[in-house]
Amino acid sequence: MLFEIFDPKARPRPIGIDLGTTNSLVAFVREGRPVCVTDCNGKALLPSVVYYAEQGVVVGEPARQTASEHPRETIVSVKRFMGRDADDPETRRLGPYEFAKADEAPNRRVVHFKVHDQIVTPVEVSAEILRALRDLAKDELRTVGPAVITVPAYFDDAQRQATKDAGRLAGLEVLRLLNEPTAAALAYGLDKKQNGLFLVYDLGGGTFDVTVLSLEEGVFQVKSTGGDSALGGDDLDRALAHVMLAKAGVDDVATASPSLVRAALDEARKAKHALTDAPQATWALADAKGSVSREEFDALAKPIVDRTVTPVRRALRDAGVVAADLDGVILVGGATRTPIVRRTVKELLGKEPLADIDPDEVVALGAAVQADLLAGEQLANAGEDVLLLDVVPLSLGVETMGGIVDKIIPRNTTTPTGARASFTTYADNQTGFEIHVVQGERELAGDCRSLARFTLKGIPPMPAGMARLDVTFKVDADGLLHVHALETTTGKEQSVEVRPTYGLSEEEMEDMLLDALDHGEDDMHARLLAQARVEAERVLLATRKSLATGADMLEHGEHARIGAALEALDAALKKGDANAIRSRVDDLDRASTPFAARRMNDAIAKAIAGRAVGDIEHEVERAKGVDAHVAQHEKNREGKKD
C-alpha cells in the first residue's frame, strides 16, 4: 500500500473552476498536466444544485435528488439568474421558485429567492457551489490556493462581478475570471501542441458562446466573440418538458404544481441524454407514460439550436475570416453531445468538430492551466510560455449631448485595454459633468444598456467650451470596467468601478447586436439629427446672448435679418429634419457673421488695451502649443479607436 506524504510547508495549490449551469468542476495541475478532482465515487461532475433544507445546505447530487420533492427550496441552474433583474419576465420562467416581495428584498433589481424563512441571492447560491468545489479540492490537495473561475464570454459586467463576489464569499482568492471558450482553447492547444485558427462552439446548460481565436506558439489571441447569455441545454429540456406535461393533461404550465414542473424537467433531461446514443427514449410523469424518438426531439430542438447559427456567422465576420480558413472547431459543453448540435455545427462550418477532450471537462482543465501559470507553478517552471489575449464583447462608451453615444472602447478590442476621450461643457457657467457609461452597439444612449452614472462636481463657472474633461476607460483581465474622469483645468477628478446591480434580460446581449444591424441606417439618421439639434441649440443660445449684450453694435436692418434667421432655425428644429436644420444654421451664420466679427474685434481691443506687445506674443505662442497638444491627443485617441 502506498501513502501520500503531506508536507505542511507546501505552498497551496492553485485551482481552476468551471462554474457551470448544470454541472461544475474543479481541476488542478499535477506533474505538468491538468486533471479534474473527483469525489469518492470517482465522479468529476458536481451538479450545480443547492437544496436549502431546514437543517442546513446540501449541494450536488443529493440536492438534485430532492429537486422534485422540494422544488421551491432546491435551486437549479442558478447561473441563469446571475446578475439578472428581479422584475425580468424571464426570471419567472426559469423555475418553480418563490421570489421575495418588494418589501422583503433590499434591492429589487437583484433576484432574491425565498426559501423557508431565508432570503438568498444567486451570488449566495453560487457561493455554496464554489464552497463545495473548494472543499472537494481540499480533500485531494490538503491546501487550496487561489482560483481561476470561468465565465461565459458573453457575460456582461454585472454577471462577471456577481461571479467574482460569489468566489470571494466562498472563501476563495479569485486570481482571474477567464472566458470559457478561451479556457477550452487553452486546454486543447497545450494538450495537442497545435497552432492555427480555431472556432470554439460552447453550448452549456444555460449559456452559448462562440469564439474565434488563433493559437500561435503559446499566444492565444481572441479574434472575436459572440453568443447568447440566455441559451443552452436547459432550453432543450424545457421544450421537451412542455410536451410531456401536455400529454400528462397539463395545458398551461403556469397552473402546474412546482413539483410536477421539476419532475417534468428532470424526465426531459434524462430522455435527452438517452437520445444521445439511442434512437428512442421512454419517460414517465405522474400517471402518464410515453416515448420520444430522436426525430421528434430533433424537431423540438431545431429552432433552439438554429439560434446559435447567427452568432457563429457574426463571429466569423467580425474576425475577418470564413469557415474554410478554420483549422478546427472545438466543442465545449454538455449540450454539444446532442447529435443535432454536432450535425448543425458540421453543416454550418463544413468540418467535423473536435471533441476528443471531454467537452464537460475541457473548460475546467483550461482554467487549471491558467491558474497554474498565474501562480507561477509547474507549467511555468516547465518552460511553457503562454499569453492570453481576450476581447471586449460589446462596445463601451459615454452619452454626450443629444443622447449620442461616443464609443470609447469598441467591441472585440483585445483586453486588458484602455482608452481616453476628451469632452467640454455645453453651456456657460456649467459647474459639473454627469457621466453616463453605456454598453452596446446603437448610436443613441437610449438604445444601449446603462452601466453607471456619476457626477463630477466643483468646477468653477467658465464660458461654454473652456472646461476640458478627460474620461479614461480601463478594462482589466477579468473584463471588468473602471472609469476615471478628470477636469484638466482644475484637477478635479473621480473614479468609479462599474458595478451595475443587475444583468441582461433574455437575449438582450444578442439583441444589441441584431438591433445595431437592423437599425443601422435609422440609427445614423437619428445620430445626425441629434448632432444637428445640439449644434443648432448652441448657435441659437450664443446668438441670442450676443444680441442681448451687444445690441449697440448692430447696423441698420441687421437685427431684422438675424431675427428672421433665428425664427427659421426655430421652425426647422420643430420639424426635425437634420438637413434643413444644418441649412438654417448656415443661413444664421451668414446673417450674423459681420455682427460677430465686430464683437470679436471689440473684445480683442479691450483685452490688449494697455498691455505690452511681448506679453501678448508670449500668450499667443503658449496657446498654439496647447492647441497642438490637444490636436495630437485627439489624433492619438482616433488611432486607439481604429
Q: Tell me the catalytic residues.
A: 18, 79, 180, 202
Q: How far apart are CA 574 and CA 568, in angstroms?
A: 10
What are the distances in angstroms from CA 295 to CA 291, 339, 499? 12, 11, 45
- Rounded to a whole number of angstroms, the distance between the first and last alpha carbons of the chain is 64
Q: How far apart are CA 208 and CA 226, in angstroms?
A: 8
Q: How far apart are CA 547 and CA 584, in angstroms?
A: 18
Helix, strand or coil, per DSSP, at residue 453: strand
Indicate the burial class of 9 (C-beta count within 10 angstroms; 0-12, 13-18, 19 or more). Answer: exposed
- Are the C-beta atoms of residues 268 and 233 closer than 8 Å to each other? no
- Are the C-beta atoms of residues 431 and 459 closer than 8 Å to each other? yes
| DSSP code at position 551 | G
- Are the C-beta atoms of residues 275 and 294 closer than 8 Å to each other? yes
Helix, strand or coil, per DSSP, at residue 197: strand
Return the C-alpha torsion angle 509, 514, 516, 517, nearest 10: 160
Helix, strand or coil, per DSSP, at residue 330: strand
Beta-bridge partners for 406: 398
| Cα torsion 128, 133, 139, 141: sign | negative
Return the C-alpha torsion angle 342, 346, 351, 357, nearest 10: -10
Residues 6+ apart with CB under 8 A from 100: 112, 113, 114, 119
| DSSP code at position 619 | H
H or E segment to which residue 464 belongs: none
| Cell of residue 407, nine digits | 464609443
What are the distances in angstroms from CA 253 to CA 241, 372, 579? 10, 47, 54
- Are the C-beta atoms of residues 515 and 456 closer than 8 Å to each other? no
Nearest alpha carbon to residue 391 among 213, 151, 513: 213
Residues 6+ apart with CB under 8 A from 413: 391, 392, 475
Q: How far apart are CA 29 and CA 18, in angstroms?
A: 15
| DSSP code at position 554 | P
| Cell of residue 483, nine digits | 472609469
CB atoms within 10 A of CB 367: 35
| Cell of residue 636, nine digits | 492619438
- How are beta strands 414-415 and 387-391 bridged, if at all? antiparallel
